[in-house]
Homo-oligomer: A and B are copies of this chain.
Amino acid sequence: MAHIVDLGKYTDQQQQLARIAKALGHPARIAILELLEQQTHCYHGDLTADLPIAASSVSQHLNELKDAGLIQGEFNPPKVKYCINRERWQEAKRLFGAFFQDLPDENAEASCCD
């Protein structure tokens, strides 16, 4: 009961953003995405070779990125080729951009909780 946050208690945007942020919340997954972004590493083996974790751990991280929709895998026998999901990537970019918009002026009047 603890962590499957009851749907409806937060907005879709909040849940979307949190979902993506959570997927980005580990340096290995950041590193994987950066490698995929450069399009120089697209295979599990390539990624494993450049990451300081075991192959099975890489698989797990790839799965989490896939579950969050940020990447997709295409079977390219005998390997699986991973790519960034461009649509989702743009969506993530948009969500974070909107979230990190400029704050109201620090010295605005009525700035807080009067």
* Contact surface of A with B, Cβ cutoff 8 Å: 5-6, 9-10, 14-15, 17-18, 21-31, 33-34, 37-43, 46, 52, 81, 83-84, 86, 89, 92-93, 96-97, 99-100, 103-104, 106, 108, 111-113
Contacts and interface: CB of A to CB of B under 8 A. Distances in A.
B27 A5 contact: yes
A43 to B, nearest CB: 6
Interface centre among A5, A23, A25, A40 (most CB of B within 10 A): A25
Nearest to A79: B113
Contacts of A103: 37, 84, 86, 89
Nearest to A38: B104
Contacts of A6: 52
Given A106-B86, A112-B40, A113-B41, A18 B10 contact: no
Contacts of A97: 96-97, 100
